Each structure stands twice: as structure tokens, then as C-alpha cells.
Amino acid sequence: MALRGRCRFIVLAVQNLSQPGQRAPAFSPPVSMSRTFCSSARTFSLDSYPSGPRRNASAGAKAERVSPSSGRAQRNLSAVALSLQKQPLSCNDLLDLGEMEENRRKALTCRYQRRFIVDPKLARTVTDHLIQDIEDEKAVIFECNPGPGVLTCSLINCGAQRVVALESDNSFLPDLQALERKLDGQLKVMHCDFFKLDPVGQGSMIPPAMYSEKLFTDLGIPEVPWSADVPVKVVGIFSQRNERGMLWKLIYALFERLSVFRYGRVELIMFISEKEYRKLVARPGDTKGYQALSALWQMACDIELLHQEPWSSFVTTSRHGGLAIPKSILLPNEHLCLVRLTPREDLFTSVLTPFNSNTLVMMVKQCLAKRKSRLVEKLNSWNPGGGQDMLAQAGLLEHVLTGQVYPQEYKRLFELIDKSEEFSQSWLYKEILENTQRTGCCI
């Protein structure tokens, strides 16, 4: 009888639904859009709209105590649902890095002298060394001149959430912009040349030249204190045509907190020639390698070698073709070196500030112009008879050569000179001011 009564109820319900103009009964259950995940410990319901509340699959079941492990499983399932909703690409649908020959063909269409990463294996090698940078969700990654975008895709495949592609050649922009539209905010493409930011002069800029203020404002990146975390990490390859000039431009900007360094301790992760890398890390006493640029970069940054790659691994575009490797007789130059330059948090002090740091830069340049000369003679030329006393205060020997003084010792020496009344009226300051105005050191 119970079975017969139940069948009669179902027939009546179907008849009522089939009649036009009739509303569904109030007790009819809603159609569920959820997927059910079952386990031996518990049954979970994962809504198709992840932001909605989680419900138990059995509506009338009593609340049960959940173990910590099952609670973590529930949170993980919810996180998966959120990621599926936000990401247009599934975790198994990685971006295609392309074939090496096709990437090479695209790179060779560039009209300027540049180097490109076209080998997917090399791109993955580079990103393997940048895992800690990719996992740093607070920092934005600037990629300089990505070209075919092989490294761009590799960065995103490894989990980079905020990549800004700064491409100077507009022939590469359409493909990069198509990739940008394919993603969900992980990539922003800008027609901009990082190496031409903040040129000397004023007035409107025509892309790819650009003021850093406009770039950072358009990207919504604010200025942060020097003691804050690194806000931006710049990844790219230095142009060999003006590699040394760019290193000087950046070190002036760093000490004076101009250009990109106005926004905080911007970190550089760049491929540079082996010759220039060896100069950057040369130690006092190396009269051929240790130069003013060495002392200033070591004073300002932690320098870390991440990887060395032969020149032949890169595609080079030039008027004459070939690898176009800069010649070097005194120092090895067989590789491009991936180097991390992280500005020191304690660079500036109560004495050394962005306002007087250009004086320090000029002092180091003058001292290391002749690395076998005695430092006391240089100090006496600025303040006759005061060199010995200054060396004693700095803890340096009287016969020390300029090429034997460590970067931090130069910094200490400058701070003593800056506080000294005898040196405050020295012609050194006037000469530095004239040199700065004449050469346009400020960026």
C-alpha cells in the first residue's frame, strides 16, 4: 500500500507540472548545480560558484566534528575552485613556448642590435633561477625587451602573477598584446624601452622613450620607503652597444634615488657580459679589474651571480650578423652572466643621503682614476696637510694606494670628509658640481 500511494503521488505531480499556467509546487526541490566529492571520511559539495557557501551533500544530516586534515582538504577544494574561476588557463594548459626555429625567425626580424632568448630550455633555466622572485607576490616583474616572448611565457607558466613586458620594438607588440588578452591580468604590455627611461631634457616623450614617473603611474606602482621590500624586479639583457654607459647611468640614479629608484630598492636581474661582471666584482688590489664602477656597485648593492650562459645560446641581431661578441684581452668574456643586483637597505645614512651622494661618486671616480697612486696625496690635493689626519680617522695606513681601498672604506672616508670643516670649502665640491652640469650625470 505504501508503494502504491507513493506512485500515485508521483503521477499527480507530473500531471500538475505538465498543465500550462500551473506553477511548480512549493516543496519541489531546486536543481542543484554543485559537484559532489566523496571520501571515506566525509562528503563535500563544491558549488559551481566558488564564492557561495559550502553545503553538506546530505541536507538533513547533523553537524559532525571535522578533523583538522579534513578541514584542510575542504579549504583546498575551495581554493581550487577559486583558481579555476579566476584563471582562463587550467593548471594543465601551460603557455606554449614555441619551437626554437620559429622563435629565432621572429627574433631576426628585429631591426636593432639586440640579443634574444629563443630556446625554451634556456628560458626554463632562467626561470628556475628566479623562483624566489616569482614567489614574491609583492614585487612586480619588469621584463625588458621580451621580443618573441619565450621568457615571458616561461615566467607565467612558473606562476608569475604580475609581469610587465617593456618592449621597445613595435613589431613584437601584436603577439605580446594577443598573449596579454589571453591571460587574466598576469601580463601587461607597454611600448617602452627600459634603457631609455628618463632621458636628459624635458618635454613630451615619444614611445619607446618614456619618463619613469609616467610608467609607474600608469601601472599604479607607488613610491615606497628605501627600507621597504623590493617593489620591482627588472629582468632582461643589457645592450652590448652601451653596456658600460648603462651601468654608469643606473649607478648615478641609484645613489641619487632618481628614475626607477625613486620608487624604492628596485632590483636588477640582468644578463651582462662576463667582462663587465668580472669588473663589477673585482676586489681591491686587482689593478686591472678594480675600478670606480666596481667600488660604487659593491658599495650600493649585493651582487649575486645566478647563471652563466655561452654567447651562442642567444640570438643576436646586428647589421653584420654573427654573435658580435665584444673583444676582451685582459678579462675572460666567453659567457653572458645572469646577475642579481639588490640595493642595500643600509646604503643611506644620516651623513650619506641622495642629496650629497653625487659628491661621493665623483670622489671615488677621482681616487680610482689612478689606482697605483697614494691616497694621502689625493687627500692633500683637496686639503693641503690634512690627508694624514683623515686617513688616521678612517683607520687607513698612510701609504695605502687608492686601488687598495675597499668600497665601505671609501664610504667611511666620504662621511668623515663631509663632516670636516677643513674639507667643506675644498675645490673638490666645486669641481664635482661643474662636472655634473657639464656631463649631465643626473638622470
Q: Is 45 helix (H, G, I), strand (E, B) or coil?
A: strand
> In the chain, what percentage of residues exceed pLDDT 90?
63
How far from 141 is each of 49, 103, 161, 215, 270, CA to CA, in Å?
A: 31, 22, 9, 13, 12
Where is 159: in which H helix or E strand? none
Summarised one tens digit per residue, pLDDT across range 223-251 is 999 999 999 999 999 988 889 999 999 99
Residue 198, marked binder: no
Summarised one tens digit per residue, pLDDT across range 78-134 is 333 333 333 445 445 799 999 999 999 999 999 888 999 999 999 999 999 999 999
147: alpha, beta or left? (left if phi > 0; alpha if psi -120 to 50): left
Share in percent of the chain as helix, strand, coil (round to 5): 45, 15, 40
Residue 9 has pLDDT above 50, yes or no: no
Residue 141, marked binder: no
**pLDDT number for residue 91:** 47
Residue 169 has pLDDT above 90, yes or no: yes
Q: Hey, CA dihedral for 234, 235, 238, 244, is it positive or negative? A: positive
Residue 117, marked binder: yes
Residue 20 has pLDDT above 80, yes or no: no
**pLDDT number for residue 241:** 82
Summarised one tens digit per residue, pLDDT across range 346-404 is 999 999 999 999 999 999 999 999 999 999 999 998 888 889 999 999 999 999 999 99
**pLDDT number for residue 287:** 87
Residue 196 has pLDDT above 50, yes or no: yes
